[in-house]
Amino acid sequence: MAQTTSENTQSNQRSMQPGEASGGPNGASGANNPLRWWALAATSFGLFMALLDVTIVNVALPTIGNDLHASFSDLQWVINAYALTLAVLLVTAGRLGDIFGRKRLFMIGLGMFSLGSLICAISGGISIGSFSHIQVLIAARAFQGIGGSIMLPLALAIIAATFHGRERSLAIGIYGGVTGLATAIGPVIGGLLVSKVSWQSIFFLNVPIGVVGIALCAWAVTESYDTHAPRSVDVFGLVTLTISLFCLVLALIQGNDADKGWTSPYILTLFAVSVVAMVVFIVGELRLRYPMVDPRLFKNASFSGAAIVAFTLSAGLFALFFFLTLYLQNYLGFSALDAGLRFMPMSGMILVVAPLAGALTDRIGPKTIMVVGMAVTLLATLLMARITPHDTQNDWLVLLPAFLLAGVGSGMASPVISNVAVSTVSRDRAGMASGISGVCRQLGTAFGIAFLGALLTNQYNTALHDNISKLTVPHTPPAAQHSILNGIITGLQNAGTFAGSTGLKQVPPQFAQFAHLPLFAQVQSIVQSAFINATIDVFYAAAVLSAIGLIAALVLVKRSDMKHSAPPEAGAAHMG
């Protein structure tokens, strides 16, 4: 009897982990569900959609920018609106599922994601008051992110509540395979749809998948709760963290706007509010009995190391998909499909290496795999910096070694991050640790796009001003010459880095009036060089971020900090 009680206690403690569950509303076990493999299919639908949208949208950005007349900053927000809402609500969504029912919340999240996808698809034809089409798209992407933040943690929770024993290991393995598959084929599916149908089709695709997923979930999934979870939501933590992160990313994205600037009161105020809100968040969370994120977890060096690696891997590598897409499509002139196919070596290596790294973690040790993975990622980002202003489509192969190494590096590091995070805390806090790891990944992507985008814009605009100002206009009075050159500079900078990355293959309307001038070929060369050199600076900055992650893994992660072996579901966490 004592042994049975102990086993029940351990089972209840594990219910706090992501995926561990008590029974359904009447206490029935999900493992007895005869439709459990259909339940796996239902959750896989939602998981696949949420992760696919992380990569599928990247290849559509140039087309979206041209169709909706979007600025470089607007395109950053198309990515960041999704990443931010996904990151901020991830932990809270998991707790809501524990309280109100995982099946119920998962279906709501899937419905929200599908509705958000539909609004994204028709955003080009929607005008709401003074909001532009691109602003409607950004708002819809944020709504998608809310749905995704519900689906991601609850998909794993439902799977682990539905399967036991060896079947659970198999189901979790399939779950991990779905994450790798979404990462691998996202750019190709996106490129195919954009090239052959339209950019709207990448969002329309989610609607029927979502409907099928909801129907399968209603039919096959058994409801489950966590009867030991706190019955309250940390509203204080949710609000303060959201304010801090939103102000930080907004300041990074808008710091290079001509009407604002880094030292403007507006940008400085955003940074100040972000810092104050973060301090309030940390102090407040320390005072709460059931905080959304317990800052005390970061006292463990290995936990902090895993969090830093998760952040820097996303900021220093996965955020680069945004900039690589601009280079491949806008600069080299590849179609969306051709660009997506060229991402396949990277995505394919992630798909192959990640399961191997997860399987070898116990034998080799998580620190070794994480350190080697981040070192390979660092080398990959440095190799990307070999591009030149004279590259043609045939010269894209200069990126191939970097893409292969990036796939190997991220494939090694990604599955180990969550493993380390949950292994360094007590089992009843594994859910929170896994959630924090996911938040760090999403915040890393949002920060990387904002920070690297700000760097790209600043370097591009500075190079334009410095080099075009040195040109001369033959047979033109000095005053008129100065006016013409300033007009060209202003037109280029107002066009934004996105327009400038076309290398003037298509003359932006802001300075079409100067296209007939003899010096236009010189301007074209300057623009091309400015964009490529700025992009190279982005790759070097990404390498610095990867180096920080490498140092964190090398110095902070220790086997002695591991309190227990990670549960199987932790090792299958989102790989990118």
Distances in Å between the Cα of 184 and the Cα atoms of 59, 202, 353, 496 are 13, 16, 12, 31
- In 3D, which of 290, 140, 293, 154 has the Cα closest to residue 217? 154
CB 437 within 8 Å of CB 573: yes
| E strands present in 309-450 | none
Residue 553, pLDDT score: 93
CA distance 311 to 549: 8
- State pLDDT tens for residues 168-227: 656 665 666 676 667 667 778 888 888 888 889 989 988 998 888 899 888 888 887 766
Structure tokens at 306: 């895993």
The predicted model gives 499-521 an average pLDDT of 54
CA distance 318 to 446: 10
Q: Is the pLDDT of residue 66 over 60?
A: yes
Query: Taking the chain, what is the end-to-end CA distance rounded to the nearest angstrom?
Result: 45
CB 567 within 8 Å of CB 14: yes
Structure tokens at 449: 């796009």
> Which backbone phi and psi does 558 adopt, to 5 degrees?
-135, 140
CA distance 534 to 62: 18
The residue whose two tokens read 């880095």 is 497
CA distance 53 to 206: 9
Q: Which residues sit opposite 128 in a β-bridge?
A: 131
CB 105 within 8 Å of CB 46: no
Q: What value does the mean pLDDT of the chain take?
A: 77
The predicted model gives 392-413 an average pLDDT of 88
Residue 35, pLDDT score: 79
The C-alpha torsion from 409 through 415 and 419 to 420, rounded to 10°, is 20
Q: What is the residue-wise DSSP string for 70-120?
A: --HHHHHHHHHHHHHHHHHHHHHHHHHHHHH-HHHHHHHHHHHHHHHHHHH
Residue 224, pLDDT score: 77
Structure tokens at 115: 């509705």
Q: Which residues sit opposite 131 in a β-bridge?
A: 128
Residue 252, pLDDT score: 76
Q: Is the pLDDT of residue 473 over 70?
A: no
The predicted model gives 314-326 an average pLDDT of 87
The predicted model gives 544-548 an average pLDDT of 96
Q: Which residues sit opposite 83 in a β-bridge?
A: none
| pLDDT above 70: percentage of residues in the chain | 75
CA distance 321 to 202: 17
> Which backbone phi and psi does 301 adopt, to 5 degrees?
-60, -40
Q: Is the pLDDT of residue 570 over 60?
A: no
- State pLDDT tens for residues 16-54: 343 344 444 333 445 566 777 888 888 887 778 877 777
| 7: Cβ contacts below 8 Å, ≥ 6 apart | none
- The more confident residue out of 542 and 7 is 542
With cut-offs at 50, 70 and 90, classify the pLDDT of residue 481: low
CA distance 155 to 50: 11
Structure tokens at 348: 């394919």
Q: What is the residue-wise DSSP string for 474-522?
A: TT--HHHHHHHHHHHHHHHHHHHHHHHTTTTSS--GGGGGGTTSTTHHH
Q: Is the pLDDT of residue 439 over 60?
A: yes
Listed ranges 79-88, 425-434, 465-474, 565-574; the one with the highest mean pLDDT: 79-88
With cut-offs at 50, 70 and 90, classify the pLDDT of residue 138: very high
> Which backbone phi and psi does 128 adopt, to 5 degrees?
-115, 105
